Chain A
């Protein structure tokens, strides 16, 4: 057989530059990780958001269509630390855990929360820009392992985004410096901001526990009312999942105002100011500081 035409075609393609590989198919179970993936991968990745902006990951359950999308992906990014209660079933349905990347597990040590008498890992690691930087490195390494030919692109993307995270951390520190340290007391719906509190010097008084499914007891609400009055907390912050009667009781009995909406469990809807990780963090910092000043 004359191989010359085939070899000629190959030579032309090689001469034109490297043959363009298909983008890496990434399925993401976290809106934060979707944003990281796009920033790291650029046009070398195609990101499918299984959990979308505005959706509560504590309540999310994958549909058969989601399982199919995950099955077709090269890599699946999971937030980890127990927030995706359905993860093992999803791994089973998608043909195994091999392509799943548990980012939360790989970024290392956690803060711990007490829930129903036992200690659990706080799953809300993304509220620390230091953790975000570690997560970016985990995602970068996973991308490189899956598509080594794009190593340079992924490395450059991660480095550029890491520099943006440093700027973000500095901007948040500057905003928080507008608030006297003795006013850094944060009353929130559920216990999602411990990493933020650690990094920026706040004390958290959560109404619910680590999950939005928790319901505050009467005793817990009474203790919180006493704390808000004693600590002279000016504003409290709620999410839409909290029982509105609890909100009314707290604001009526303490005089504290509603400080605004915080994004606790992921990014906001597309087009909003919390549609990206940086946007979400800036929104939360600004909302908290301006309400407590």
Chain B
């Protein structure tokens, strides 16, 4: 039973390990509005076959294995209402208990983060809400 619990914790442990960062694709804010850059990070256990983080169908961060940690800067104007990001990721079929963690650091020091679990088919599609300016 102890072994089972320990094995179940492996994906979570892997999410917290520091790993190489990968430069991300960046969505530019409209030139007429001042942009407050957000730091977007995505961690996976195990490394995904591919993933994308999108805002209104436009990629904010994307990548694929064998790396498991990705980070990038998103030059976005965060509206007072906040934004919804959509994370899609896939792993090879049969991958057991794949997990992902998304972290967004706002320019004012606040941070939003959440973990997600993939389905049995090795895919994940989730909405992640980033709060707006207080």
Residues of A within 8 A of B (CB): 170, 173-174, 176-178, 180-182, 184, 201
Contact B79 A174 (CB under 8 A): no
Residues of B within 8 A of A (CB): 56-57, 79-86, 125-127, 132
Known: A178-B57, A180-B56, A181-B132. A173 touches B127 (CB 8 A): yes
**Bound-complex Cα distance A129 to B63 (A):** 33
Contact B79 A182 (CB under 8 A): yes
**B54 and chain A: residue at smallest CB distance:** A177
Main secondary structure of the interface of A (DSSP, over half): helix
**B82 and chain A: residue at smallest CB distance:** A181
- Chain A nearest CB from B79 CB (Å) reads 5
**Bound-complex Cα distance A181 to B132 (A):** 10
Contact B82 A174 (CB under 8 A): no
- Chain B nearest CB from A186 CB (Å) reads 14
Contact B79 A180 (CB under 8 A): yes
B residues within 8 A CB of A180? 56, 79, 83
**Bound-complex Cα distance A173 to B87 (A):** 12
B residues within 8 A CB of A176? 84, 127
**B125 and chain A: residue at smallest CB distance:** A174
Contact B82 A177 (CB under 8 A): no
Name 8 interchain pairs, CB-CB below 8 A, sorted by A: A173-B127, A174-B125, A176-B84, A177-B84, A177-B85, A181-B81, A181-B83, A184-B81
**Bound-complex Cα distance A174 to B57 (A):** 11
Contact A177 B79 (CB under 8 A): no
Known: A174-B86, A176-B84. A181 touches B79 (CB 8 A): yes
B residues within 8 A CB of A178? 56-57
- Chain A nearest CB from B84 CB (Å) reads 4
B residues within 8 A CB of A177? 84-86, 127
- Chain B nearest CB from A210 CB (Å) reads 26
B residues within 8 A CB of A174? 86, 125, 127
B residues within 8 A CB of A201? 81
**B86 and chain A: residue at smallest CB distance:** A177
**Bound-complex Cα distance A176 to B79 (A):** 17
**Bound-complex Cα distance A184 to B57 (A):** 17
Closest 6 A-B residue pairs measured CB to CB? Answer: A181-B81, A177-B84, A173-B127, A177-B127, A182-B79, A182-B81
B residues within 8 A CB of A170? 125-127
**Bound-complex Cα distance A176 to B126 (A):** 12
**Bound-complex Cα distance A291 to B20 (A):** 43
- Chain A nearest CB from B110 CB (Å) reads 17
**Bound-complex Cα distance A177 to B125 (A):** 12
**Bound-complex Cα distance A201 to B83 (A):** 11
A residues within 8 A CB of B86? 174, 177
A residues within 8 A CB of B85? 177
Q: Which of B83, B127, B132 has the most CB of A within 10 A?
A: B127
Known: A178-B57, A181-B79; 16 extra A-B contacts, CB below 8 A, are A170-B125, A170-B127, A173-B127, A176-B84, A176-B127, A177-B85, A177-B86, A177-B127, A178-B56, A180-B56, A181-B132, A182-B79, A182-B80, A182-B81, A184-B81, A201-B81
